[in-house]
Amino acid sequence: MAPRTASRDGGRSPRDAGSPRLVVALVRGFRGLRGHVRVELLTDRPEDRFTVGARLYPEGTDELLTIAEAAPVADGPGWWLRFREIGDRTLAEERLRDRYLEIERPDEPREPGRWLWHELLGLVVTSTAGEALGEVVDLYRAGGAEVFVVRGPQGELDVPGVRGIVTELAPERGAMVVDLERLDLDARPVDDEDYVRPRDRRPRKQPRGRRGAARAGAAGPGSPGEPADASRTDAPPAQDG
């Protein structure tokens, strides 16, 4: 059974927990004229993270955004947010399109068996037969589960973080074990230029003014990597779980 994971972090090694922020959302759309934005959740605690008055930052900046309104999307995934500092749709689109939103890393105990995504970057991946598959270079969400992007001798593999495929996840040892017989390698490896990952994957990176914004996500027993509180990176930042 794959252990539970948790978050995303930005551009740091799996053993580096010093990222100052966590990514909690990704801006996906806009509504109306007052600057409402629809965000994809990169946290499993939206009710705590998106309270009125809470402070967020576009990834890689010190630009403060204060939540003025927050509510779940009634007819689909995600939440609607509006910020005091952004008064209309034009400004929202200019400043926030495809941007990750971060929070200051909260001083909260972490649930045992969960990890931030940045703690999973760099894990050495082997098969159950002992074959070297490479290392985790990225994570993304697809269909409610997290997917490990593993780069190595077979090119780039997309490994769903689900029970039966990921048989061992041990960030404390820097290791992950994958059952290749359960992994559909007819659809992978992904080493050709024409391959495009699902829309759930993060968009092209925005220019970053600083390094170290971290994302973290938290995953349940069957999905190693549903976000907790997070931030993303060129390698992913830390996400929230």
Q: Give the range of the structural domain holding residue 66, as residue numbers without chain letter.
A: 23-104
Q: What is the pLDDT of residue 127?
A: 94
Q: What is the pLDDT of residue 67?
A: 98
By C-alpha distance, which of 81, 105, 146 is closest to 240?
Answer: 105
Q: What is the pLDDT of residue 241?
A: 53
Residue 60 included in any domain: yes
Q: What is the pLDDT of residue 13?
A: 30
Q: What is the pLDDT of residue 239?
A: 55
Residue 79 included in any domain: yes
Contact 42, 233 (CB under 8 A): no
By C-alpha distance, which of 217, 223, 218, 221 is closest to 239?
Answer: 217
CATH number, residue 89 = 2.40.30.60
By C-alpha distance, which of 191, 184, 202, 107 is closest to 155?
Answer: 191
Q: What is the pLDDT of residue 70?
A: 97
pLDDT < 70: residue spans in the chain: 1-19, 110, 143-144, 185-241
Please count the structural domains in the chain: 1
Q: What is the pLDDT of residue 214?
A: 30
